[in-house]
Structure 1
């Protein structure tokens, strides 16, 4: 059985590696969720059908390269993504900063998911509470559950995925039965149009955190073939099936609002599944974000924060984001993720596969099943390259923002590293 919290600061031994299915189900679960359905709905609402599927295909290609690259490294070394970053350019403190970036991004996801939860509750109660009160109540409720380790959330997680998949299948059958395919293909965007480059960046932004934490799972994989098949399966199901169906449903119903979609086609049961799905995803978001910030503070300042207190504070911030309307900026949030996370992955892959700065120490220690004795303190070149790549992705209007950030960060890191070598 795969346990993400096991072997946090050591390699996963070969005799603890598991089957393809054990890792694939968890990896698939990260992206076969409400997030992807929301993304597909936005694409279907704001792009033509052809443009939406081109965006999915191009974004999936970038996601595949990033996921395979880090996934194979995680499998080979048997370590998590944040630990791998220490010997992939960032160093000990640099890897803590990477973890902090992930934690803040997950906090944003918490705010978005909580807003959907609140909207579902408000819809079910026919607007009696109002969105602000609903968002405050749902955010506080979930924060307290996660902070004090309410066991029922584990049960919720087990039933949420199958329920969500069954709901998507039911809505797809109900909505798409008998539709005129020709009309859907020819239908122009109903919402504010998205450009192809914006659409691609959003697709990458919706999945790229999963790429960064893929080593957390593939360190349990036995071989390269398993990692390749895990990546392929996740793309086919999450992008082409879940996203693809959401695109068609959004076009048919003329809305990108998933709460409206669920309520229109599945009534109270649909809203209940939305609630369960947001509970499942936000449990992970809040837990991982709290853990990441706790580890970051300890790594940089040597001060150990209390987990429950940290969770309460972070959950309160996430709830405030919901109340302030982060859901209204969902597309902007995905676009931001699409230029912040790819540079980190690019730098790690350039360091691990091309420069191979620490491959010799990794190889020697791997033979003994331990981690390298020496750990760089902070990789300034990696941090600078990531900052430059993200800035380029935000400011350069030509091309595809997510690709700009990825290529520029990787190229700059390579050049600066070579320059540093020459100077020494």
Structure 2
């Protein structure tokens, strides 16, 4: 059984490598959750069907290239993403900062998922609770569960995935199979009813919805046996998460004329659909809160040397995430994905440029790989990587031309390469 928390600060030995399927199931789980269905529903409600699938295709292509590249490095070195970043431009403190950025993004996901949970509770109560009160209740409940490690979370995690997949299959069958191909053809021709998204904006939010999984890919592929396995895992994840889950959500949102997940689930599956939404948000949010808490603790310790206690840190982060829900982060879902789709690609691009093109520490990594240890030399902080990330992210967010996700990725990668060449020369 795959345990991604094993070997946190060491290489995964060849004797512990697993089959393609063992790793692929875990990796696919990152993109076959409720958040991907939400993303597909937004695309379907804001774009023409053809434009939405173009956005998925190009966004998946970007995701696939960076994921295979980083995943192969993780497989070859047997290192997690955070460790790999130390010798791929960012240094020890730079890799800690990456962990902090990931933790903050997971906090945002916690707020969004908690808002979905709250809408479900409020809908089930006949709007008697009110959204703010429901969000406070659901946030406090989940924070308590994660903080004190109740076993109920393990139970929900086991049943949430199969229930969610079954529900998507049921809704797809109910909504899309009206007996004729003509009905599906009519759905495809329906205009969008939500706020219009351009193809470039759609590509960026598709990247934003999956890009954190790219950064986490080495955590999983360090257990794989070959580059073919890395490619197969990435391909299966794209097919399952982007084209199946997102694709079905696009068509369902078109047919029902809404991007609201709670409305979709309750309208088609009633109370059962709402229960599955609740289980799915529990399953995803316990990981979001747990990982975010650990990320913040590790970042603070890495920068200041002070170790925070887990329970109060989790409670504080849970309350902050709950506040984000109450303040309306769900209403900013597209903006949130856009930020992720612009901020994370520069990190990945810089790591790939350093590992495959500049090869700054490949010799050090190669020598230590033969011994099965970590390199003795660890750069403290990679200023060139951090500055290039800031340049790529700012320009990607502030410019209107092209595709923001591609802009930030390419600009940061080129800037990093130029900085390193200048430093090497002078």
Report the TM-score when normalising by structure 2: 0.99
Q: Which residue of 2 aligns with 1:280?
A: 283
Q: Secondary structure at the match of 2:30?
A: helix
**Whole-Å separation in 1 of the counterparts to 2:6 and 2:261:** 36
Pair 1:93-2:122 in alignment = no
RMSD, matched Cα: 0.7
User: Displacement of 1:299 after TM fit?
Assistant: 0.4
Q: Which residue of 2 aligns with 1:337?
A: 340
**Whole-Å separation in 2 of the counterparts to 1:261 and 1:310:** 35
User: Displacement of 1:181 after TM fit?
Assistant: 2.4
Structure 1 residue runs of 5 or longer lacking an equivalent are none
1:29-48 matched pairs, under 5 angstroms: 29-48=29-48
- Of 382, 397, 400, which residue of structure 2 is paired with 1:397? 400
Q: Which residue of 1 aligns with 2:173?
A: 173
Q: Which residue of 1 aligns with 2:67?
A: 67
- Of 250, 270, 274, which residue of structure 1 is paired with 2:273? 270
Would you say the 8 A contact 2:140–2:319 is kept in 1?
yes
1:221-240 matched pairs, under 5 angstroms: 221-240=224-243
Pair 1:129-2:132 in alignment = no
Would you say the 8 A contact 2:75–2:225 is kept in 1?
yes
Would you say the 8 A contact 2:176–2:184 is kept in 1?
no
Structure 2 residue runs of 5 or longer lacking an equivalent are none
Instruction: Say which is worse superposed, 270-279 or 171-180, in terms of deviation.
Output: 171-180
Q: Which residue of 2 aligns with 1:145?
A: 145
**Whole-Å separation in 2 of the counterparts to 1:276 and 1:118:** 12
Would you say the 8 A contact 2:41–2:246 is kept in 1?
yes
User: Displacement of 1:186 after TM fit?
Assistant: 1.8
User: Displacement of 1:116 after TM fit?
Assistant: 0.1
Deviation by residue 1:56-102 (Cα, 9 ceiling, x = unmatched):
00000000011101100110111110111000000000000000000
Q: Which residue of 2 aligns with 1:113?
A: 113
**Whole-Å separation in 2 of the counterparts to 1:11 and 1:181:** 50
Pair 1:254-2:257 in alignment = yes
**Whole-Å separation in 2 of the counterparts to 1:272 and 1:204:** 29
Q: Which residue of 2 aligns with 1:412?
A: 415
**Whole-Å separation in 2 of the counterparts to 1:117 and 1:230:** 30
User: Displacement of 1:182 after TM fit?
Assistant: 2.6
Pair 1:363-2:376 in alignment = no
User: Displacement of 1:150 after TM fit?
Assistant: 1.2
Q: Which residue of 1 aligns with 2:210?
A: 207
- Of 187, 192, 215, which residue of structure 1 is paired with 2:190? 187
Runs of 4+ with >4 A deviation: none
Deviation by residue 1:345-383 (Cα, 9 ceiling, x = unmatched):
000000000000000000000001000001000000000
Q: Secondary structure at the match of 2:22?
A: helix
Deviation by residue 1:268-322 (Cα, 9 ceiling, x = unmatched):
1100000000001001100110000000000000001001111000000000000
- Of 303, 318, 322, which residue of structure 2 is paired with 1:319? 322
**Whole-Å separation in 1 of the counterparts to 2:186 and 2:22:** 42
User: Displacement of 1:154 after TM fit?
Assistant: 1.1
Report the TM-score when normalising by structure 1: 0.99
